Chain A
Amino acid sequence: MSDQLLQLLFTGLTLGSIYSLIALALVTTFKVTGILNLAQGEFVAIGALLAISLYATGIPMFAAFILAIILVAIMGGCLERAAIHPARRASGLTLIIITLGLSISLRGLALLIWGTDTYSLPAFSQGGPLIIGGAVLNPQSFWILGLAVITLSVLYAFLGLTYAGKAVKAAVINRTAARLVGINPNTISFWAFVGSGALGAAAGIFIAPVTMSTYDMGFMLAIKGFVAAVIGGLNNIGGAVLGGLLLGVLESYSAGLISSGLKDGLAIIILLVVLMVKPHGILGLLGERKI
Chain B
Amino acid sequence: MWSKSLLWPAVILLFLALPFVIDSNYYLSILIVIGLYTIIVQGLGILMGYAGQVSFGHAGFFGLGGYTVAILTTRFDWSPVFALIAAVILPGLIAAIIGRPTLKLRELYLALGTMGFGILIHTLFNEGRELTGGPSGISGIPYLSIGGLSFDSDIKFFYLVWAVVLLVLIGINNLIRSRVGRALRAISESEHAAETAGIDTGKLKLKAFIFSALLAGLAGGLYAFYITFISPSPFGFHTSVQFVLMAVVGGLGTFLGPLLGAALVVLLGELLRWVIPLVIPGAGGEYEIIFFGLILVFLMIFRPKGLGAFGKNLKPPAVKPSVAPE
Q: Within the assembled complex, what's the spacing in Å between the Cα atoms of A83 and B286?
A: 23
A101 CA to B298 CA in the complex, in Å? Answer: 9
- Name B192-217 residues within 8 Å CB distance of A: none
* Chain A residues near B294 (CB-CB < 8 A): 101, 105
CB distance from B272 to the nearest CB of A (A): 11
Docked Cα-Cα span, A100 to B116, in Å, equals 15
Output the least CB separation between A238 and chain B (Å).
20
A96 contacts B54, C-beta separation under 8 Å: yes
Q: How far is the CB of B247 from chain A (nearest CB, A)?
A: 9
Which bracket fits the contact residues of A? 35 or more
List A residues 255-291 near B (Cβ within 8 Å). Answer: 261, 264-265, 268-269, 271-272, 275-277, 279
User: Please, which residue of chain B has its CB at the minimum distance from the CB of A104?
Assistant: B293
A36 at the interface (CB under 8 A from B): yes
Contact among A97, A98, A111, A261 for B286, CB-based, below 8 A: A111
Shortest Cβ distance from B96 into chain A, in angstroms? 12
Using known A-B contacts A97-B248, A279-B102, determine if residue A109 contacts B290 with beta carbons closer than 8 Å: yes
Provided the pairs A83-B301, A90-B304 are in contact, do residues A265 and B120 lie with their beta carbons within 8 angstroms?
A: yes
A148 at the interface (CB under 8 A from B): no
Quick check: B296 and A93 within 8 Å, CB to CB?
A: no
Q: How far is the CB of B104 from chain A (nearest CB, A)?
A: 8
Contacts of B304 in A (CB 8 A): 87, 90, 94
Is there a chain A Cβ closer than 8 Å to B154's Cβ? no
Q: How far is the CA of A92 from the CA of B107 in the complex (A)?
A: 7
Residue ID in chain A nearest B284 by CB atoms: A116
Residues of B within 8 A of A223 (CB): 115-116, 119
In the assembled complex, 27 residue pairs joining A and B whose CB atoms fall closer than 8 Å, in A order, are A91-B52, A93-B48, A93-B53, A93-B107, A97-B300, A98-B300, A100-B293, A101-B295, A101-B296, A104-B241, A104-B290, A105-B290, A105-B297, A106-B293, A111-B286, A219-B237, A226-B115, A271-B116, A272-B116, A275-B98, A275-B101, A275-B113, A276-B100, A276-B101, A276-B102, A279-B104, A279-B109
Extra pairs beyond A112-B280, A279-B101 (14, CB < 8 Å): A83-B297, A86-B301, A87-B304, A90-B300, A90-B304, A93-B48, A94-B304, A97-B296, A101-B294, A104-B290, A104-B293, A268-B120, A275-B102, A276-B100
- B binding-site residues for A, Cβ under 8 Å: 48, 52-54, 56, 97-98, 100-102, 104-109, 111-113, 115-117, 119-120, 123, 127, 237-238, 241, 244, 248, 280, 286-287, 289-297, 300-301, 304
